[in-house]
Structure 1
Amino acid sequence: MSNKTNPGNYFEDFFVGMQIAHATPRTISAGDVSLYTALYGNRFAVQSSSAFAGSVGLPEAPIDDLLLFHVVFGKTVPDVSLNAIANLGYAAGRFLTLVYPGDSISAVSEVIGLKENSDGKTGTVYVRSVGSNQRKETVLEYVRWVMVRKRDAGHPALAPVVPELPESVAVSELVVPASLAVSDYDTALAGSSFAWEDYEVGERIDHVDAMTVEESDHMTATRLYQNTAKVHFNQHAGKDGRFGRRIVYGGHVISLARCLSFNGLANAFRIVAINGGRHVAPIFAGDTVYAWSEVLAREELPGRSDLGALRLRLVAAKDQSCEAFPLRLDERNYDPAVVLDFDYTVLMPRRAAFRPGP
């Protein structure tokens, strides 16, 4: 048989310091934006309306921050996680440059850590991935770690290297788009009158709404991102796996929960950091996703009186409403309904930026 196809890397193929340039560059179109909206129902005003984006100093509506995240993630899959069992977590993520329809995105990754698991059949691979546009500007960077199968369980393990990762991205490292000016922010059009000052540390917000995952939706989403991970597509192989069916791409859950969070956080219009995140449990077609948020920190931005930063914990649960804010049964164990625990930072207008009411 021909060996021209790509079997993907197995755990023993990786080494610390390995540099990977991922194929293929992807031009993001207005059609991609429309399909993303159709999948998740995104309603954040800056990404939904070029007129509203213009009112805050942007040339047009930028693409949703998580659409960018998924596109960069998808570029990395054939080289990093084609043979993965599970994507485990995220850290040190920064959104650096806004992306607009027509921009072309490419990605590179560096292996920064490796640790074989005790079963001898799998290992954890840590990579730092960087997405760039056609002008070679970095638009996104983040670390993720993934459990990858070994090709040969008898292959000797290397000494483990586990990178030290920050608990969160420091405020001083957050990047605010240079042209962003929210001095005349229209809360009526944005959908909420709540400003940065209205959110208290420790406050929890039930986002109330929910969305059921359809087989066609998560399959379409994963193809949209050119994510080739076998666990999301191949039911013929999946029926013999641990769950007996295809697993929904974890990023699909992040986007569902983020879009549900509009109800309660409508003015949290720009993601600037991914501090950490964990896919606690898999979900499958037919599961219904609910979401709630907790305010972890409210931080001032140096030199900005019109904008502040909110560090948020976004929790998604399946087939259980979030009225009781389920998270953990105890210090070590999550509530069985929880599928996502995601720590990220957003920009939000301060009250001084709000347009006076009629």
Structure 2
Amino acid sequence: MTQLTIDTAEYTDTCMDTYDWEYRDEELLLSFLAVLKKLGRLRNLRSVTLRCSSECVGPQQRRHWWARNVPECIKFRTDVLQSLFAGLNASHATPKLEHLCIENLQGCGNETVARSRDFRAVMSRVRKLDLQITTEDVDGDGSLPANLGKKELHSFFGHRLVQEWLELVRNNLTHLKLYSRNMYFGYLPKCHLPTFSALRSLTLGGMSFNHDEQLNWILSHRDTLEELVIDNCPIVIGVRIPSTLDSDNYPIEPLFNSSTTGSILAPSSFLYSARWRDYFSRFAVGLVKLRSIRCGFGDWYDNTAFPKSMELGTGLWAQRYRILDDGEWRRPRFGEHGSYDGKWSDPPVYPDCTDEDWIALCEVKAAIASRLGG
């Protein structure tokens, strides 16, 4: 056996309300963890996928009605991760594991796991890392401003994702797939990713671009990058938020949905002038080893974009430009006859650059074709 998938999500979203922690079979759970600790006996194991529940409850274990039906608390997830890495780093295990995929890793960080010897030893051998981050829905109703207000969310994307996971693999990683399941990351929550010296394949899902620094980060892999996949990653052309902004236009103290939080700060705003035509043109010239590019909008509505990322085609997508208004991600309005449900008196207009975006994307494809001798 060279590949193994472990699925801990015992119930689908349609039957979550039938689950009750009071009736969890503790003996069965202990047996399951014991099996994970013996995975090192699979001597030819090269790829492991761990699928966790998409529903999670934060460190404060918030007591909303829906939280009672969340099957995987932080302790459960910690026990599973610890047992998994212990098994993969057992004394009888052979260091053949190269690919690690975790679907629905909880976005709050876990010092117990990150500091363990087993975790660090296993990660030092990983060459291909796939991570999909899932985050807590505070009120159980998908309220974005409330969810963005969680400090652990900003801490995770701001530094724990990098320090606890990515820094350990930055010198040996050849393939990285990084998705956020239920919210955009990049600007809010802020996320600065490290450069990977050997990276050949980069797949991003749900990352928002709002500064040239992020474009330059992709271009910093020019000497190694051969494949680039961009799935539902919008350029943020405008931000309006009730917070003071720093010199780089990031909120110093994020306060969201001022109508509900009672914020008395005057809204701050900024515009970002780059368009996809600029990004694609830079890719065509700067990514000199690129052999494949795919971009678009995957199966996000069915929550299968992450596992189906290989099926993504290449083209322009309607959601490729967004604005952030008072904690809510919105589509810019389409000129005089378009629709817009935001509160700005004069919000940014959807960029009229479809032809230019498409021409620039074709430039990338042409550069790849010439490189491949096509």
Specify the TM-score bucket, using the shorter chain as the normaliser.
under 0.3
TM-score by length of 2: 0.22
Quick check: which has more Rg, 1 or 2?
Answer: 2
Q: Structure 1 or 2: larger helix share?
A: 2
